């Protein structure tokens, strides 16, 4: 039989190591977790994919960033605060001229908490026409530890009724739209219903007007300007 002090020592070691062993099983695992991007298409959108049609009112296409947090056994981790960092670059489409930019609705970074599925989804939309490049990274802070996911890089060509990227659709955008509508000059940004040449007509106006009439808007943050090239 082991001496008394040895049994006490063994009991002490068990008490000290057991909680950390239990925690190790519930902590997040970067290799079993994921950061993914998809495009969510509004049911009223004419088409999906690239180019996207987004609106600061949120009733266009959205870029859906999903973070799945799992532990080493691939079981979902609940109550993790997931912080998404969006590093966004934008190249204003040349035809817009001066005074336009690209902006994204919401805060940066932004945080959501996982439920029993271990998953959070961030819808991303905004304003401004042209080519965008998104560099996305996430940090998940869970009761059992913290993991970092990403970065991943996604590029899109984006059209929007918020031509000047102010995050409000108003008469300043109409000033951008009316000349090509009147004179028949090429205007890819407003060619919402694709049909050969990038010119705007009644069908595009029909798609533009509800966003203008509704004054669709959001609050958000500016993007960094970069040379990415015109769309398409």
Query: Which residues form the interface with Ca ion (CB under 5 A)?
Result: 162, 164, 166, 173
Of the candidates 130, 129, 133, the one whose C-alpha atom is nearest the C-alpha of residue 154 is: 133
Closer CB to Ca ion, 49 or 214, in the complex = 214
- DSSP-assigned letters across all residues of 63-107: EEEEEE-BBTTSPBPPS-EEEEEEEEEEEE-GGG-TT---EEES-
Closer CB to Ca ion, 5 or 171, in the complex = 171
Is residue 83 within 8 Å of 148, Cβ to Cβ? no
Please state the closest distance from residue 215 (CB atom) to Ca ion, in A.
10
Please state the closest distance from residue 47 (CB atom) to Ca ion, in A.
22
Closer CB to Ca ion, 103 or 131, in the complex = 103
Closer CB to Ca ion, 131 or 211, in the complex = 211
Q: Where are the alpha helices (DSSP H) in the chain?
A: 4-26, 171-183, 202-213
**Which SS3 state, helix, strand or coil, does residue 27 take?**
coil
Please state the closest distance from residue 193 (CB atom) to Ca ion, in A.
20
Nearest residue to Ca ion, using CB?
A: 166
Please state the closest distance from residue 226 (CB atom) to Ca ion, in A.
21
CA 158 – CA 93 distance, rounded (Å): 10
Please state the closest distance from residue 91 (CB atom) to Ca ion, in A.
18
- The shares of helix, strand and coil residues in the chain, as percent rounded to the nearest 5, are 25, 35, 40
Closer CB to Ca ion, 68 or 166, in the complex = 166
CA 96 – CA 83 distance, rounded (Å): 34
Closer CB to Ca ion, 59 or 173, in the complex = 173
CA 176 – CA 99 distance, rounded (Å): 10
Q: Which residue has the tokens 């040349």?
A: 94
Please state the closest distance from residue 125 (CB atom) to Ca ion, in A.
14
Tokens of 95: 């035809």
């Amino acid at each position: 039989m082991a001496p008394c002090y040895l049994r006490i020592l063994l009991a002490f070691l068990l008490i000290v190591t057991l909680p950390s062993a239990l925690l190790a099983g519930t902590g997040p695992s970067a290799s079993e977790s994921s950061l993914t991007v998809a495009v969510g298409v509004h049911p009223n959108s004419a088409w999906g994919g690239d180019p996207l049609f987004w609106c600061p009112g949120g009733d266009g296409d959205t870029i859906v960033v999903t973070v799945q947090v799992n532990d080493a056994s691939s079981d979902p981790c609940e109550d993790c605060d997931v912080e998404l960092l969006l590093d966004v670059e934008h190249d204003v489409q040349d035809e817009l001229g001066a005074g336009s930019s690209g902006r994204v609705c919401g805060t940066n970074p932004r945080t959501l908490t996982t439920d029993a599925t271990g998953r959070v989804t961030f819808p991303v939309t905004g304003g401004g026409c042209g080519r965008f490049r998104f560099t996305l990274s996430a940090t998940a802070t869970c009761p059992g530890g913290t993991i970092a996911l990403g970065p991943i890089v996604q590029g899109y060509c984006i059209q929007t009724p918020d031509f000047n990227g102010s995050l409000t659709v108003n008469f300043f955008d109409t000033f951008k739209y009316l000349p090509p509508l009147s004179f028949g000059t090429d205007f890819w940004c407003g060619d919402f219903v694709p049909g050969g040449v990038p010119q705007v007509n009644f069908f595009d106006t029909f798609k533009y007007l509800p966003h203008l009439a509704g004054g669709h808007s959001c609050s958000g943050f500016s993007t960094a300007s970069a040379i990415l090239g015109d769309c398409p």
